Amino acid sequence: MSSNGKNEKYVGRPVKRTEDPRLIQGLGHYVDDIRLAGELYVAFLRSPYAHARINSINTDAARNASGVVAIFTGSDIEGRVGNVPTAAALEGLKVPKYPVLALGKVFFVGQPVAAVVATSRYAARDAVDHIEVDFEPLDVVVDAEAAAQGGPVIHHDFGDNIAYVHRAGIGDVDAAFASADKIVAQKMHHQRLAPISLEPRGVLASFLPGEQQLTLWTSTQIPHLLRTQVAIMIGLPENKVRVIAPEVGGGFGSKLNVYAEEALLSFISMQLHKPVKWIETRRENMSATIHGRAQSGVAELALKNDGTILGLRYTVTADLGAYHQLLTPAIPTLTGLMLSGCYKIPAISMVCTGVFTNKMATDAYRGAGRPEATYVVERLMDIAAQELGIDPVELRRKNFPTPDEFPFATATGLFYDSGNYQAALDRALAMVDYDKLREIQKSDTAAGRLVGIGVSTYVEICALGPSAAMPAGGWESATVRIEPTGKVTVMTGASPHGQGQETSFAQITADMLGVDLNDVYVIHGDTGIVQYGIGTFGSRATAVGGTAVVYATEKLISKATKIAAHLLTTDEENVTFENGVFSGAPDDKQVTIQQVALAAHLASNLPPDTEPGLSATYFFEPKNFTFPFGAHICIVEVDRDTGDIRIKRYVAVDDCGKVINPLLVEGQVHGGIAQGLGQALFEEVVYDENGQLITGTLMDYAVPKAHQLPRYELDRTETPTDVNPLGVKGVGEAGTIGSTPAIVNAVIDALRPFGVKHIDMPLRPEKIWRVISNQ
Amino acid sequence: MKISLEINGKKHEADVEPRLLLVHFLRDVANLTGTHIGCETSLCGACTVLLDDAAIKSCTVLAVQADGCRVTTIEGLASAGELHPVQKGFWEHHGLQCGYCTPGMIMAACGLLRENLSPSEAEIREGLEGNLCRCTGYQNIVDAVESAAREMAGAVK
């Protein structure tokens, strides 16, 4: 009889989330839901100019406004709060000093200039309007490609606007292009996007002067890394800083950062000895939370007439914005790593020029450099197929590595762990009945309808990553503990914010320990409780963090087995552990894991030299990244009269290795596709020629709505990886990476009658209509 | 101004600034923090509540406008420990991830189902167009509302 009376495992089943009961009843606690007695509120005066000198700031009237407690400007805190840090380390990288409040000049619209502290939200916001700043506008740099060529310089000390030039790739690309039968080239633009987590950022800082301890509640994906950085910035010992990521309302990379407000609120609380809170408005979120993408470049592919790829070249400009946030310069380097896509390409070269502009920094947004690579490769494949007269599916198939060629070495220096790209593509083709679809398309075209079929096969780099390839450690940690009452506590260094690891990590642990799922409690996001961890980003939480849970649980079982053998008065080798029960004693006696846990805590009957308690911690260092892959097919119909795009079907076959909880995996794919589709069709951050943010509200920035999105038809193939014992690869970004080219390829396919080779995203009806009506 | 409103069946009286938003009244005066704020401009729907049975966005309603009204928030939906069918639907169908849009989305769905107890998929999608979700891609939300509609229709019969 097992301890929980079950033999069925949790892993692999669509277990309903344990997080949900609190969230569907409005009982979760996001930062703004945490209330401390006497808390004060902070509002910011932010730069209305993209580039300006600050001649003076007059805060007198604001200081006298009702409810105002204090006001801080850049000069008030100069030298007392460290600069906003960047973790990216690239050869020759120029790093401008990024003060938490502007000093002397402002460099982008939304940059914090002054902070008002008041007794209420309304009073703080009112007082901002009483601050007088004399701004002297300066020349503005908006266009990254133009800025790389010359013109006004943003950071004078550097002499130009080029932050770095990054070269990637292996092989003789020039020789590949010289020997090619066919070269296709296309200029492509990856527009700037806003991540738009539904919960904006928020910070609550509380300093206790007696204990000299700071607690910082903040909406972050990386509580431990943030603790380290904020401690350095404000000069407190790191072990006196406790960062808590409570319920976090989405991140998508935007909360994988260290922001000015996080350090500044901490500093203000230390000055005032009061809790201080700042909750970002959506307008602030659009202007002063990181953006994503923003690459523009020329991509070229060299092929033989039979479709064999010989080489790929990508010359690209990355619009970094005015300053480096945590990973700003590093994101385009991920593009360079993934330019082989899922194809055998013997020679690859990327030259990326990172350029300063008077805009908010770009940084990691879901996919972070990989969607750009996939888009470039998958668009080139379709353009090449068209120009060579080969079906786009056949061209892809011809260049796939076969399953027995893995681990597969790319000309970008990676080793893809495992893959079966044919299988995923075949499954997707079968789901849409591809050959028949092409026949129907012919008759539709003959009837004057504009129907397009878009295919995208992708591979992505996940489970970030081996520490040698990461700026601040790529491992993850877990502690598993069984309490005296038999309840199991799991502490993960990952920091889930919607992905559902409270459930999936409980599934893993419950299965291994043979206990009921409801007896496992997963704790995350509190540096005062959880051992140091890295956090949640780069589709790493389950592949790296889940693996740490597995190894910690194994360690715990190993200790429990020793104690069980002692309790059963037999040798450890005789003891077996199944469904939560240790057995193997000559007299058939058994003990449960819960009984062992109690014995471990009572500690009066333990084997000699045994440490009391039952707890194990493991730090897992992955030996490689993982490389999930898949095939997405999109079928669209374009309205001739309006240019409107209707998605008729969307099919996605993703392979993320083994699956812990299919419900969660599907959810990740759904959301990812929606964001990729948003980029393909709707979304774009727009700054005008003065560097003014035109898309400053959700009225102007088009986040997709329910009626604009299709029903997704999903399936999976399952190719395990040997990078981790769970065989999981990661799935958080797959949908975003696979979907964008599938949609654009479909629309361009639909517009074939008009001889269109490429249209830059977002494919708004107006652009399509201009193509159709030749205007 | 003195106002009195009934929130989740309980009477709340307060003296408030005329400019106080209903959502701030709910969160900061009544301490019901289940109603979230996502954009302050009535575009995201995170703050949706029922005002006299109609779904409204509480970030663009003044507390004084709600004087004398009945308000239902996410905290008032479950009764006697029993989840509302829409809440159950969201849990069953994995209709939420980060959970931030969820209270508003659930209240908007309740408002929708008050007007149409057997909506088609297209009607659900159109009906929820005032509520943004960045995590789910909406499909599971649609399925959640459909399943709630079926359960509620069954209960009516």
| ipTM computed for the complex | 0.98
**Per-residue confidence band for A1, with pLDDT thresholds at 50, 70 and 90:** very low
- For A482-516, b/e burial (b = at least 16 CB within 10 A) is bbeebbbbbbbbbbbbbbbbbbbbbbbbbbbbbbb
Could you please report the per-residue DSSP string of A295-359?
EEEEEEEEE-TTS-EEEEEEEEEEEEESS--TTGGGHHHHHHHTTTTTS--SEEEEEEEEEE-SS
Average of per-residue pLDDT across A306-322? 98
Q: Are residues A678 and A743 in the same domain?
A: yes
**What's the one-letter identity of residue A760?**
D
Residue where a domain stops, chosen among B76, B96, B127: B76
Tokens of A179: 């020997």
pLDDT tens for residues A261-280?
Answer: 999 999 999 999 999 999 99
* Contact in structure between B38 and A282 (CB atoms under 8 Å): yes
Structure tokens at A292: 């994503």
pLDDT of residue A2: 37
Distance from CA of A651 to the nearest CA of B (A): 14
Do A457 and A502 lie in a common domain?
no
Give chain B positions within 8 Å (CB) of A32. Answer: 27, 33, 37
Among residues 124-153 of chain B, which lie with CB inside 8 Å of chain A? 124-126, 128-129, 131-142
Set of chain A residues whose Cβ sits within 8 Å of the Cβ of B36: 30, 198-199, 249
Strand partners, A632: A456, A652
State whether A665 and A752 are in the same domain: yes
Among B53, B76, B99, the domain-final residue is B76
For residue A502, what are the domain limits? 20-27+475-518+534-620
A594 and A501 inside one domain: yes
Domain-embedded: residue A467: no
Same domain, residue pair A442 and A585: no
Same-domain check for residues B90 and B139:
yes
- Taking CA atoms, A513 is separated from A6, A221, A516, in Å, by 12, 29, 9
Rounded to whole angstroms, the Cα distance separating B103 from B57 reads 12
- Tens digits of residue pLDDT in A172-196: 999 999 999 999 999 999 999 999 9
Digit-coded pLDDT (tens) for A421-430: 999 999 999 9
Name which of A297, A261, A329 is nearest A90 in CA terms: A329
Question: Where is the domain boundary, B22, B49, B76?
Answer: B76
Q: At which of A556, A586, A620 does a domain end?
A: A620
Residues B113 and B62 both lie in one domain: no
Distances (CA, A) of A454 to A29, A561, A740: 42, 55, 10
Q: Are residues A62 and A202 in the same domain?
A: yes
* A643 in a structural domain: yes
- The whole-number pLDDT of residue B73 equals 98
Find residues 77-106 of chain B whose CB sits inside 8 Å of chain A. 77-78, 83, 87, 90-92, 94, 96-103, 106
pLDDT of residue B155: 78
| Contact between chains at A29 and B33 (C-beta distance less than 8 A) | yes
CA-wise closest residue to A496 among A674, A732, A282, A736: A732
Q: What is the DSSP letter of A610?
A: P
Contacts of B26 in chain A (CB under 8 A): none
The answer to whether the CB of A431 falls within 8 A of the CB of A409 is no
Q: Tell me, what CATH number does B118's domain have? A: 1.10.150.120
Per residue, what are the HEC states of A403-446? HHHCCEECCCCCEECCCCHHHHHHHHHHHHCHHHHHHHHHHHHH
Q: How confident is the model at residue A520 (pLDDT cuts 50, 70, 90)?
A: very high
- Rounded to whole angstroms, the Cα distance separating A414 from A407 reads 9
Residue A250 has its nearest CB partner, among B74, B135, B142, at: B135
Is B112 in the same domain as B146?
yes
Could you report the per-residue pLDDT of A716-730, keeping only the tens digit for each? 999 989 999 999 999
Q: What is the pLDDT of residue A89?
A: 86
How many separate domains does chain A show? 3
Q: Does B36 touch chain A (CB under 8 A)?
A: yes
3-state SS, residue A652: strand
Rounded to whole angstroms, how far apart are CA atoms A266 and A684?
A: 33
> A166 by DSSP, 3-state: which?
strand
Question: Any chain B CB within 8 A of the CB of A122?
Answer: yes
Confidence (pLDDT) at A6:
54
> Which whole number is the average pLDDT over A350-369?
98
- Both A481 and A554 in a single domain? yes
- Tell me how many residue pairs between chain A and chain B have CB atoms under 8 A apart: 173
* Per-residue pLDDT reduced to its tens digit, B90-130: 999 999 999 999 999 999 999 999 999 999 999 999 999 99
Based on the fold, state whether residues B151 and B115 are members of the same structural domain. yes
- The CA–CA distances, whole Å, from A496 to A43, A478, A483, A523, A526 equal 28, 14, 24, 10, 12
Residues B94, B138 share a domain: yes
- Say yes or no: B120 contacts chain A, CB-CB below 8 A: no
**What is the reported pTM?**
0.97
Domain with B67 in it: 2-76
Q: What is the pLDDT of residue A7?
A: 64
Q: Do B114 and B138 have their domain in common?
A: yes
Do A587 and A635 fall into the same domain?
Answer: no
Model confidence at A4, pLDDT cuts 50, 70, 90, reads: very low
H helix and E strand count, chain B: 5, 5
According to DSSP, residue A15 is labeled P
Does B57 reach chain A within 8 Å, measured CB to CB?
Answer: no
- Residues of chain A contacting B34 with CB distance shorter than 8 Å: 25-27
pLDDT exceeds 60 at position A342: yes
In whole numbers, what is the pLDDT of chain A averaged over residues?
Answer: 97
Q: Binning pLDDT at 50, 70 and 90, where does residue A45 land?
A: very high
Strand partners of residue A360: none
Query: Does B73 contact A at CB distance below 8 Å?
Result: yes
Q: State whether A87 and A217 are in the same domain.
A: yes
Q: Are residues B72 and B92 in the same domain?
A: no
Element (H, E) at A679: helix A662-681
Total domain count, chain B: 2
Domain co-membership, A128 together with A227: yes
Instruction: Give me A450's structure tokens.
Output: 């504009």
Looking at the structure, tell me whether residues B19 and B38 fall in a common domain: yes
Q: Are residues A431 and A487 in the same domain?
A: no
Q: Which residues of B touch A667 (CB under 8 A)?
A: 94, 97, 135-136, 140
- Specify whether B54 is located in the same domain as B21: yes
Q: Residue A88 — very low, low, confident or very high, per pLDDT cuts 50/70/90? A: confident
Residue A720 tokens read as 């395990």
- The average pLDDT across A578-598 equals 95
Q: Are residues B115 and B69 in the same domain?
A: no
Please list the residues that pair with A391 across neighbouring strands.
none
Same domain, A629 and A598: no
Question: Does A666 touch chain B if contact means CB atoms closer than 8 Å?
Answer: yes
CATH number at residue A752: 3.30.365.10
Nearest to A537 by CA among A734, A224, A738, A252: A252
Same domain, B152 and B93: yes
Under an 8 A CB cutoff, do B121 and A703 touch?
no
Mean pLDDT in residue range A37-43: 98
Rounded to whole angstroms, how far apart are CA atoms A127 and A120?
11
Are both B102 and B141 inside the same structural domain? yes
Q: Are strands A309-321 and A450-459 parallel, antiparallel or unpaired?
A: unpaired
Q: Which long-range contacts (CB under 8 A, 24 or more apart) does A683-686 make?
A: A683/A191, A683/A193, A683/A194, A683/A762, A684/A191, A684/A192, A684/A193, A684/A761, A684/A762, A685/A191, A685/A192, A685/A193, A685/A194, A685/A286, A685/A291, A686/A192
- The answer to whether residue A15 is domain-embedded is no
The CATH number assigned to the domain holding B35 equals: 3.10.20.30
Cα distance from A685 to chain B (closest Cα, Å)?
16
Put simply, the chain A residues between 712 and 731 with a CB less than 8 A from any chain B CB are 712
Residue A345, domain member (yes or no): no
